[in-house]
A = this chain, B = another copy of it.
Amino acid sequence: MLTRDDCRRLDREDPLATLRGEFELPDGILYLDGNSLGPLPRAARARALQVLEREWAQGLIRSWNEAGWFALPARLGDRLAPLLGANPGEVVVTDSTSVNLFKVLAAALRLRGDRKAIVSERDGFPTDLYITQGLAGFLGQGHELRLVDDADELPQALGEDAAVLLLNHVHYRTGAMHDMAAMTARAHACGALMVWDLAHSVGAVPVDLNGARADFAVGSTYKYLNAGPGAPAFLLVSARHQAAAVQPLSGWWGHAAPFAMRSGFQPAPGIARFLCGTQPILSLVLVECGLEVFERTDMAAVRAKSLALSDLFIQLVEARCAGRGLELVTPRAHARRGSQVSLRHEHGYPIMQALIARGVIGDYREPHILRFGFAPLYVRYVDVWDAVEQLRDILDSDAWRAPAFQARRAVT
């Protein structure tokens, strides 16, 4: 049986071990929630001060040119593209994931003309479904949100009226991962366009959007990409759609001549037509500090460690917390697993609060799900060991029954 010393040995042998030093992590905390908010890259403080003191305070309005603010969404998109299996000119960093999803869904629906069905999973990321509902309801053109209860039902759901298949690459709650190439091919087989939400996969698993011939994608930068709380999100439009794809949030930044101040909108020729209004520069700039860390490794190495960490967690939970009411939700098969492991327990909420009170930070999702994210850039094997030991102790001691752990917080 594995011991804590074995975990320490795995850390010593870990080729990614030095990257942990690129992040500021609080003392006494085991952080297993990088799938929700990544930690601060050490480079971010200096970069933020540079924006505040040099670019904003000293440069003032001149920094739109001289500090390259205007070029940021496309420049960051190009730098992110390799993590998506995309080419330069196919990605921008801008707005929120929800706003970006609205844009790409709207563009996809228009490209597919009279097809009226948007196919997705009932259990998908709720805000993606909310955005889809908002868009369809607003269009008032008879679009239908066709939700399947299981991916096995997709073949029937993808009929000749299907305009779009919208899927989460990795499921936010279960950690289950779709086969990107297979699902994209399925959408295309019926003539639908494929929209991927990569929020819970980018930076944690290899993504090859162009290899899969995906049409559109969106995702967030503040989870595994460590860009900072609420940092602007990204969107991808495949190069083959850019000339024809138009989206309704047609603000100045997406104009072909944004400073000509003409009264008629003319979309920019490339991916820039998916930009809209002025972006929050300070939050946007820090996206780069997160991306820089990824350029010191590669996604194959990240994936290998991610699977090793989550395998270890599953193994330890099953060996050391057996018979304590925990049920594995995440698929065991590597090909079906993202970079998080979810466990179901009847008292999941107070158990997670008790863990957090002991400095083991995962999170809770309705219903009854404890989520543990394994971000390979900074999570150690010994962290996995220690987290499982804390979990076991909390279950054995009934520590989670304390009244303080029952009350729901505003943000869960």
Contact = CB atoms under 8 A, between A and B. Distances in A.
Interface residues of A, number: 99
A151 to B, nearest CB: 16
B277 A411 contact: no
Interface core residue of A25, A122, A137, A282 (most chain B CB under 10 Å): A282
Interface stretch (A95-103, A186-194, A397-405): A95-103
B99 A265 contact: no
Nearest to A29: B60
B36 A147 contact: no
A251 interface: yes
Nearest to A106: B138
A65 B411 contact: yes
Interface in A190-242: 220, 222, 228-233
Interface in A68-127: 69-71, 95-99, 102, 106, 110, 122-124, 126-127
A134 interface: yes
A95 B94 CA distance: 11
A319 interface: no
A1 interface: no
A124 to B, nearest CB: 8
A262 interface: yes
B129 A263 contact: yes
Interface string A32-72: 01001101100011001101110111101111110001110
A261 B411 contact: no
How many monomers of this chain does the complex have? 2
B263 A56 contact: no
Given A138-B248, A365-B261, A61 B36 contact: yes
A63 to B, nearest CB: 7
Given A127-B252, A138-B139, A280 B276 contact: no
A250 interface: yes
Interface string A238-257: 00000000011111111100
- A-B interface, 9 closest residue pairs, ranked by CB to CB distance from nearest: A96-B277, A98-B277, A134-B250, A280-B283, A98-B251, A138-B248, A127-B252, A229-B281, A64-B411
Contacts of A95: 95-96, 99, 277
Nearest to A172: B261
Contact of A60 (B26, B220, B233, B251): B26
A98 B247 CA distance: 13
Contacts of A366: 259-261
A390 interface: no
A156 to B, nearest CB: 20
A179 interface: no
A278 to B, nearest CB: 4
Contacts of A58: 26
Contacts of A130: 250-252, 254-255, 265
Contacts of A37: 56, 60-61, 64
Nearest to A259: B412
A133 B126 CA distance: 30
Given A229-B281, A283-B281, A62 B222 contact: no
A180 interface: no
A48 to B, nearest CB: 6
Contact of A126 (B24, B249, B261): B261
B39 A250 contact: no
Contact of A102 (B249, B259, B365): B249
A162 interface: no
Given A134-B249, A134-B265, A140-B141, 18 more contacts: A49-B49, A60-B361, A61-B363, A62-B361, A69-B229, A96-B279, A98-B249, A98-B251, A99-B277, A126-B255, A130-B255, A229-B280, A230-B279, A230-B280, A230-B281, A259-B412, A261-B365, A261-B366
